[in-house]
Amino acid sequence: MYTIIYFSPTGNVLHLARKLADGLKSPKEDILPLEFTDPKQLKRNKHLVLLYPVHGFNAPRTVKRFVKSLPPGLFEAVSLLAVGFAGNWLNGAVSSDLRNSLRKKAYPIVVDEDLAMPLTFIMNFPDDLNLKLIAESEKKIADFCTQILDAETSEKKVLFKSKLVNFIGKVETPAARLFGLELHASNDCTSCDTCWTNCPQHNIKQKNNGKPSFGFNCIMCMRCIYQCPEQAISPRMSKFIPIKGGYTLSKYIK
């Protein structure tokens, strides 16, 4: 009945997608990673739930591209769950571009909400705050399951200040591309292929010497940095952006 698609560069969104699947009693095969899913190959189902991280008060380019490629008529309804670090008016317009694409395909939207999870760049919140954010979002997921099961559509009211923040946040797109160009791998790199195999933008290629080469299509999702088993990837200039020592949700989830 439910197709759950998630985009989770750092693990936060995946955790909530699994909680949602449990609440909706969806089988594992109906939980799909967005970046490895062809929207044109999806099977018809009753309800699509799309979970994604917030990048610059917007949905990531990877997610916008997926929704634009989604064929019309596959689902009776769609729900959108954005995951950021602030569950308030700051992310009130984060789904605007996704809603516009879905509206053109005549998809009714049931749930359109955002949740707060631990920050994954620049700074790490204190452990007690991170645990609180996770617990609150897990509780909200249970509430969203009820809304999705009832399938009662509601019109989302977006404040002007939310729209303004969303518009300003779009400057992150070119900034993210530049961030990708300054990424490099140190001598600790073992050419294990983790980064270029899992890059959601296919922005990383293997050079002749076996080391990764980073292109101009980065979305600054941090996956290559945090998933590198040798911690060999870092930016040359913007060293303050990745959390020192990396980020892992497993520190808080038992």
Is pLDDT of 213 > 90? yes
**Sorting pLDDT into bands at 50, 70 and 90, what band is 156?**
confident
Q: What is the mean predicted confidence (pLDDT) over 64-92?
A: 92
DSSP state of 58: B
What is the β-pairing status of strands 183-185 and 233-235? antiparallel
Task: Note the pLDDT of residue 82.
Answer: 97
Q: What is the mean predicted confidence (pLDDT) over 166-173?
A: 90
**Sorting pLDDT into bands at 50, 70 and 90, what band is 173?**
confident
CA distances from 11 to 14, 110, 170, 184, 196 (A): 5, 25, 23, 23, 18
Q: What is the mean predicted confidence (pLDDT) over 127-147?
A: 95
Asked if 26 and 4 touch (Cβ cutoff 8 Å), the reply is yes
Is pLDDT of 168 > 80? yes
**Sorting pLDDT into bands at 50, 70 and 90, what band is 30?**
confident
Is pLDDT of 35 > 90? yes
Q: What is the mean predicted confidence (pLDDT) over 167-172?
A: 90
**Sorting pLDDT into bands at 50, 70 and 90, what band is 60?**
very high
Task: Note the pLDDT of residue 242.
Answer: 95
DSSP state of 36: G
Residue closest to 3 by CA, chosen among 61, 41, 36, 44: 44
Q: Look at phi and psi of residue 190 and say left if phi exceeds 0, alpha if psi is from -120 to 50, else beta.
A: alpha
Is pLDDT of 151 > 80? yes
Residue closest to 27 by CA, chosen among 2, 52, 5: 2
